[in-house]
Amino acid sequence: MPDSEEMTIDERRKCIKRMQASYLGADRTERGRLLSHLEELTALDRKTLIRLLRSAELTRRPRARSADGSTGSRSTTRSA
């Protein structure tokens, strides 16, 4: 993949999903190699990759909504 092109979140998850079985079945040194390779491919840090590789579910969750229906983002307008 060219350096100018970044992976989308969904592409990253697909790549991690493909490597997950190899990672879980590997010994310590092989896991290190796989993490280095994934770190280079996805531009994610090692701790994030470890968390994703060890999780059972890689699907993205929808944002939680508050009682008023907003997603919790801050508004740029202020009411007096």
Angle, CA of 39, 53 and 58, to the nearest 5°: 110
| C-alpha dihedral sign at 1, 14, 32, 46 | positive
How much is the pLDDT for 4?
58
pLDDT 10s per residue in the chain (80 long)?
A: 455 578 898 899 999 999 999 999 999 999 999 999 999 999 999 999 999 999 877 677 788 877 777 666 665 565 55
How much is the pLDDT for 64?
82
- Check: pTM over 0.85? Answer yes or no: no
How much is the pLDDT for 33?
96
